[in-house]
C-alpha cells in the first residue's frame, strides 16, 4: 500500500547524538525525511515563580527553518509573533519533558530545549519530543558529572509518534503526503511503561469512533516502544 513500508511500520529513524559543539545535549533526529535538531542547554537559574523553591524547570521552544517546508516558512520574528501552531507544539514538548522529570531533584536549574526543524515531512512534533528527550538526558548527565546533581532526575523514558486514518487504513508515523490527506490525526506521547502522557486526536475530515480510537492507540504503542528502544541504546551507550 505505502511506498517502501508497511502500514504499521515507522520510517527509518537515525538519532545522531552530540551533533553540535556548544550545547550540553544535542541530537539530530531523522525520521525518514523529517529532520530536527534538538538541543538542551542548562541555565543556573529558574523562572521567577520558582525562585527559592529548590525546584527546577524544563521549557521548550520549537521553530521551523524557512527552507524546511515546500513553500517558504516565514520567520516568527518577521511576523512579530509566534504562530499559534508553533506555540501549541512547544508547549506540548515542554509538558512532555516535565512529565518525566523530577523537578525537585533537578534543583534550581532551567533546561532549555530547542527543537529546530531543518526539514519537514510530517511528524515534526513527535520527532522533536523523541529527540528532545535524548538531548535533555545528555544535558542532565553533564550536570551529574559536574557534581551539581547526584543523579539524572527522570522517572522514565518518553517518546512520541503520530498515527492516523487515511482512507480506510490506520497508518503509523504519517509522512506529509499521508498527513495532509488524513481523516483523523492523532499524536500520542507515552512512557516506557506503556502509559499515556498526552493524547491529542482530531477528526480532520469527519468525527471518529471509539473503535477507531482504540485501533490508533494500539498502533501508537507499538511505534513508541520501538523509539524508546533506540533512545535507550544511545543513552545507555
Residues within the interface to its own copies (CB under 8 A): 20-23, 26, 33, 37, 39, 41, 43, 61, 63, 65-72, 75-78, 80-82, 84-85, 87-88, 90-91, 95, 99, 112, 114, 116, 118-121, 190-191, 193, 195-203, 206-210, 213, 217
CB of 35 to its own copies, least distance (A): 8
Closest contact distance (angstroms) between CB of 207 and its own copies is: 3
Nearer to its own copies, 206 or 237 (CB): 206
DSSP assignments along 38-64, one per residue: EEEEEES---GGGTTSS--EEEEEEEE
The alpha carbon dihedral of 140, 144, 148, 152 has a sign of: positive
Comparison of 155 and 232: residue with beta carbon closer to its own copies: 155
Pick the closer one to its own copies by CB: 2 or 73.
73
Q: Which is nearer to its own copies, 57 or 208 (CB)?
A: 208
Half-sphere exposure of 70 (CA within 13 A, CB side): 5
Q: Could you tell me the smallest distance in angstroms from the CB atom of residue 1 to its own copies? A: 23
Q: Which is nearer to its own copies, 112 or 230 (CB)?
A: 112
Q: Which of 160, 231, 218, 152 is nearest to 191 (CA)?
A: 160
C-alpha neighbours within 13 Å on the C-beta side of residue 11: 25
* Residue whose CB is less far from its own copies, 1 or 77: 77
CB of 141 to its own copies, least distance (A): 17
Supply the minimum distance, in Å, between the C-beta of residue 9 and its own copies.
21
Q: Which three cell numbers stand for residue 90?
A: 512547544
Place of cell 499524536: 187
- The DSSP line for 176-204 is HHHHTT-SEEEEEEEETTS-EEEEEEEES
Q: Let me know: does 51 contact 57? Beta carbons within 8 Å.
A: no
Rounded to the nearest whole angstrom, what is the least distance from the CB of residue 225 to its own copies in the complex? 14
Amino acid at each position: 500500500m505505502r511506498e517502501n513500508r508497511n502500514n504499521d511500520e515507522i520510517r527509518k529513524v537515525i538519532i545522531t547524538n552530540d551533533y553540535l559543539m556548544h550545547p550540553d545535549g544535542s541530537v539530530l533526529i531523522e525520521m525518514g525525511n523529517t529532520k530536527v535538531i534538538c538541543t538542551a542547554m542548562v541555565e543556573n537559574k529558574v523562572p521567577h515563580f520558582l525562585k527559592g523553591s529548590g525546584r527546577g524547570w524544563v521549557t521548550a521552544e520549537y521553530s521551523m527553518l524557512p527552507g524546511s517546508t515546500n513553500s517558504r516558512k516565514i520567520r516568527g520574528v518577521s511576523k512579530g509573533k509566534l504562530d499559534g501552531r508553533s506555540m501549541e507544539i512547544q508547549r506540548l514538548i515542554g509538558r512532555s519533558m516535565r512529565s518525566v522529570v523530577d523537578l525537585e531533584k533537578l534543583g534550581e536549574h532551567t533546561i532549555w530545549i530547542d527543537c529546530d526543524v531543518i526539514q519537514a515531512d510530517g511528524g515534526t512534533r513527535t520527532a522533536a519530543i523523541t529527540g528532545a528527550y535524548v538531548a535533555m538526558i545528555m544535558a542532565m548527565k553533564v550536570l551529574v558529572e559536574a557534581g551539581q546533581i547526584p543523579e539524572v532526575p527522570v522517572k522514565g523514558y518518553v517518546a512520541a509518534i503520530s498515527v492516523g486514518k487515511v482512507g480506510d487504513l490506520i497508518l503509523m508515523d504519517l509522512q506529509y503526503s499521508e498527513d495532509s490527506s488524513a481523516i483523523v490525526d492523532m499524536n500520542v506521547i507515552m512512557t516506557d511503561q506503556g502509559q499515556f502522557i498526552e493524547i491529542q486526536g482530531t477528526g480532520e475530515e469527519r468525527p471518529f469512533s471509539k473503535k477507531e480510537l482504540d485501533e490508533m492507540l494500539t498502533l501508537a504503542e507499538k511505534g513508541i516502544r520501538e523509539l524508546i528502544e533506540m533512545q535507550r541504546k544511545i543513552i545507555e551507550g
